Structure 1
Amino acid sequence: MSRRVVRQSKFRHIFGQPVKADQMYEDIRVSKITWDSSFCAVNPKFLAIIVESSGGGAFIVLSLSKTGRVDKNHPTVSGHTAPVLDIDWCPHNDNVIASASDDTTVMVWQIPDYTPIRSITEPIVTLEGHSKRVGIITWHPSARNILLSAGSDNVIIIWNVGTGEALFTLDELHSDLIYNVCWNYNGSLITTTCKDKKVRVIDPRKQEIVASNFEEPIALQEMDTSNGVLLPFYDPDSSIVYLCGKGDSSIRYFEITAEPPYVHYLSTFSSKEPQRGMGFMPKRGLDVSKCEIARFFKLHERKCEPIVMTVPRKSELFQDDLYPDTPGPEPALEAEEWFSGQNADPILVSLRDGYVPIKNRELKVTKKNILDNKPPTVPRRSYSSCESGFSRVSLDDLLEEIKCLRATVESQEKRISNLENQLHELSNGTA
C-alpha cells in the first residue's frame, strides 16, 4: 500500500483575507483605458492609482492611513496631455514616483508627506525621447535615479533621472511591441517579453542580447483562467510568485524551488468581483507582528480593496524564517557607478522591529546646461531707430536675464515648500 508524500513547506497554508469595509478606499474613478499595466502602485507611505481624467492624464496619491471615502475634489497628479498608462514608486525614495503616458513622455514627481491643497501639475523632470506612447516604466533595484521606460516605438530607454539624460537607447533589439520589462536582482540585466513571442535577456550597458528563444520551459503550469492579462508579482524573500488575472477575480500563488518540478501550486484566493488592476506592497511595508507576508491592493471600478496574505502562527515572537533581511530604501550604487559598469545587490534591512518610513527626501535634478556648449558669440550689431525701431539686445544679455529669473523661481519654490512643510507640522501639532 503506497502512501502519498506531502511536500513540506511553511507556505502551504497561506491565508488571504480582504480588510474590513472601513479600511478600503472608496469613490475612486479608476481609469477605464484598455492597457495591460496594473494601474496601481503602492509603497510603505502611499497608494497611487491611475484615474479617469478630462483634458489629459492623471493619477491620485493617497496616504495609506487615509482610508474610507475619497473626496471627489481630492488633488490629483496631472501634467500629462494624454492618459497615464503606468506608474512606479522609486524604491530608494518613498516620495518619488514616475509616470508614463500616451503623450510619449515620462514624468517624475515629488509627493509631499502632507495632502496638498491643489493638484500637483509640475513634475521634477520630464523625460522625452520616445516617438510613441510609453506604456512601461520600472526603477533600477539598487542604483540611485536609474529609470527604464519602454514604448510602443519598440524602444527601451534607460535614464539618469538626476540629470534628465538618456544613458542608453535600445532601439534595434525588438522588432515588435514590447509587452513587459523587468530587472534582475542586482540590475545588471533586463528581461523582456515581446509580441513576437520571444523572451530576451539583455545586457543594457552593452546593448546586446545575451539569451533569447527559450524553446523548452523548465516547468509548465496550465492556468484555469480567461484570456485576460496576467499580472505576475514575485517575492524573492519567500520564492513565491503570485498571479493575478486582469478581469479575473482570483489570486493564484506558487512556490518556486531549485529542484524539479520547480513550480509548486500552493492555493488560490478567490473573491466575487473581478479586478481592474492590482498593487503589490514591498516587503518593508508589511505588518510583521501579524505574520503578513504579502499585501495586495485590488482595484474595483470605484474602490481599492487591500487583501492581506498571512502565514498562521501561534507565537507572537518575530518569525525569522518568514522575514529574511529584505531590500531597504538606501541605494547601493550611484547612477554614475552603474553607468561605468559596476554592479551591487540591494542593501538589505532587518524587519525584526518593523519598518518606519523615512521622512521626505527631496530629489534634486541637475540638468546639463545646453548653453555650456553654445556657439561662439558673434560681434554685437546695433541698429539705429531708422533701421529697426529699437536697439537689439545681444543673445548674451537675454541668456543672463533668463539665468537670473530661473534662480529667482527656484528660490521661491524652495520657500513655498518650506512654508508648506511648516504648515503641515503645525496642523499635526508637531511644531
Structure 2
Amino acid sequence: MAKRRRLREQKKAGSTQPRTIDFQIENIDSLGQGVSKLNEEISFIAKTLPGETGSAQVLKQKRKVSIARLDALERISDQRIEPDCRHFQHCPGCHFLHTDYSTELAFKKSALQDCFKNLELPAAGIDLVQAPQRQHYRNRIQLHYRHKYLGMLDGLTDQVNEIPDCQILVPQLQAQLKALYEDKSWTKEHSGNGHCEIYWQDERVNISWDKPYADGGFTQVNQAVNTILVDRVKQLALAVPFEHVLDVFSGSGNLSNPIIAENPVPRRMVDLSGVSHADFMTMNLYDDDALPRFLQRQRLKQFDLMLVDPPRKGFPSLNSWVRKLKPKRLIYVSCNPETLAADIQSLTGKFALSHLSLLDMFPSTFHYETVATLDFTRH
C-alpha cells in the first residue's frame, strides 16, 4: 500500500475526532464532489478525482449517505496537479484547482449532459465555450465575518476560512482584500456576525457591509465571458426574423440592448429592479399574479422573441408565459442547469431545442452559464 499523503492539519490534541471512512472515487457529481460507493455507503468528497482512493473525515451523515472531507490519499489520479492557490484545500469557493482546466471543462460538460438526459439535445451537441483565463477574473466577491475573522463561510463546518491571497479575484479587488486583512479597523464598526461585498464597478473598488447581494446593481462576475455571452445571445436572436422582443428578468438589458441596437423593434423589459427606461416594467416575476398583471399593463399580447435570464431558482411559471405570449424563439440563459432543464421540461407546446451552449463564466468552480435556444412550431 502506497504511503498516504496527508492533506489536512491534525486536530488539536484531546478534541473529538470525526469518523474516518475509506473511499474509492467513481465519478464527479454536478457539485464538483467525488462520489464513492464503498462498503454499502455512498460518500461525497470534495477535491478528489475519479480513480483516487484514500480516507476522509465524515462531516455530515444521513443513513448510508455521508458528506466527508478529504484526509489522505492512497492512489493519486494522473489528472491531479498542485493547486496554484494556497487556500484551495480548505476554501469552499473553488472546486477544481487540483486538476487541469481541460479536465474541469469535461466534468462540467458531463454534468450538463446529465441535466439534459431527458431532453433531446441539438444535432450539433453542446457548444462548449471556455473562459479566456482561469484565475484573476472575478469582479465581485461576498465575504463573511465572525468578529475579527473575515473570509469564505464553509457551510459544512459553519466556520469562516480566511483567504488573504485569493487567486480568483481581479487584481483591483486582490489589493483591497489584502488591505482588509492588514488593517482590522473595520471590526470597530462591524462586530459579531455579518458579511461584506467587495466589487469592481465604474472603474473603482466598492465595499458594502451587511447589505443584500449585488447592492450596487447586479452585474456578471466575469466580464470577459459576459461579453462572449451577450454576443452569443445576439447571434442566436438575429438568426431568425422577429418584430417584438420580451426580455424577462432583464435587469438593465444586458442581453437585449445589443439586439435592439442592431434590430430596433419594440421591446418590453420586465424585472423587479432595473433602469429607468421607457421599455422597462417593474414587477416581481415570482408573484402568483405576475402574468395577469403584465397582460393588463401591456398593450402588445404576443412577442415572437423571448429572452429569459432568471436567478438560480429558475422560472417555474415559464410554461404559462410561453403559452400566453406565443414566442417563436425562446432564448433561456441560466446559471443553474437543473432548474433550466426542469423549466424546459414543463413546457407543453411543441418545440425543438435548437442550440445549447455551456459558457464557463465561473472557472475553477462547479458553476457555469448555460444558453438554451428553443424554437416553437405551435403552442
TM range (shorter): under 0.3
Higher helix share: 2
TM-score norm. by structure 1 comes to 0.25
